[in-house]
């Protein structure tokens, strides 16, 4: 008797488990169906943007246009007032070799064996992209000189650098030769 009752109980438990699995299966099906039907509402939501697009596009066009004008007006005005055009200059090129610097070159026979360090007229180490030699009567030492949009510093001079002439320093003699002689419109930074 006890065993039959136990069997019935276990049978009832199995039925319960079976019905639970059926319910889980239905729920999973419902989930799958709901996921499958989602694309259609999203496709419907893709259509509205077409009608709302002109409303969104209108402020976007006016927004950047205003900011572009503000950005364009602000930086150009100070830059123009800061830069002073010195006009047309003859620009040449030099390096630290004996051909370019003669007795001032560390490669000059009189310098070899000494602790001589080749420096500019202002005591700096000549550096390509920064050092230029000027006539200090025309451009004072320390002046920021703009050539082709690049900022150089007037920190050297030379016997041949007189008047509206600028000698641009290059790290190698070949690079200096390649530059040759060019006429440039020179700008300096005003205070």
Residues contributing to the site for Zn ion (CB under 5 A): 95, 97, 99-100, 173
Q: How far apart are CA 91 and CA 87, in angstroms?
A: 12
**Residue 115 Cβ vs Zn ion, minimum distance, rounded to whole Å:** 22
- CB nearer Zn ion, residue 169 or residue 187: 169
What are the two backbone dihedrals, phi and then psi, of residue 85, each rounded to the nearest 5 degrees?
-80, 125
**Residue 62 Cβ vs Zn ion, minimum distance, rounded to whole Å:** 58
Q: Terminal CA-to-CA distance of the chain, rounded, Å?
A: 111
**Residue 150 Cβ vs Zn ion, minimum distance, rounded to whole Å:** 20
Residues 95 and 176: beta-carbon distance below 8 Å: yes
- CB nearer Zn ion, residue 106 or residue 164: 106
Which residues neighbour 189 within 8 Å (Cβ) at sequence distance 6 or greater? Answer: 82, 83, 84, 143, 144, 146, 151
Cα angle, residue 79 at apex, residues 78 and 85 outer, rounded to 5°: 125
- CB nearer Zn ion, residue 97 or residue 188: 97
**Residue 152 Cβ vs Zn ion, minimum distance, rounded to whole Å:** 18
Across-strand partners of 93?
168
Across-strand partners of 152?
145
- CB nearer Zn ion, residue 118 or residue 124: 118
- CB nearer Zn ion, residue 10 or residue 178: 178
**Residue 177 Cβ vs Zn ion, minimum distance, rounded to whole Å:** 8
Q: How far apart are CA 123 and CA 160, in angstroms?
A: 19
**Residue 170 Cβ vs Zn ion, minimum distance, rounded to whole Å:** 8
How many secondary structure helices (H) and strands (E) does the chain include? 5, 6
- CB nearer Zn ion, residue 97 or residue 121: 97
């Amino acid at each position: 008797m006890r065993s039959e009752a136990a069997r019935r109980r276990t049978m009832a438990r199995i039925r319960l488990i079976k019905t639970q699995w059926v319910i889980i299966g239905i729920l999973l099906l419902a989930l799958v169906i709901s996921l499958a039907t989602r694309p259609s509402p999203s496709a419907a939501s893709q259509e509205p943007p077409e009608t709302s697009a002109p409303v969104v596009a209108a402020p976007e066009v006016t927004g950047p246009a205003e900011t572009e004008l503000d950005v364009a007006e602000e930086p150009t005005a100070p830059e123009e007032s800061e830069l002073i055009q010195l006009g047309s200059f003859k620009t040449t090129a030099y390096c630290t070799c004996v051909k370019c610097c003669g007795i001032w070159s560390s490669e000059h026979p009189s310098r070899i064996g000494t602790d001589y360090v080749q420096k500019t007229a202002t005591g700096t180490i000549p550096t390509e992209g920064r050092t230029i030699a000027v006539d200090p009567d025309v451009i004072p030492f320390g002046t920021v000189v703009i050539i082709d949009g690049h900022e150089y510093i007037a920190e050297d001079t030379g016997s041949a650098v007189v008047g509206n002439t600028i000698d641009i320093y290059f790290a190698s003699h070949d690079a200096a030769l390649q530059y040759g002689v060019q006429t440039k419109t020179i700008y300096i930074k005003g205070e």
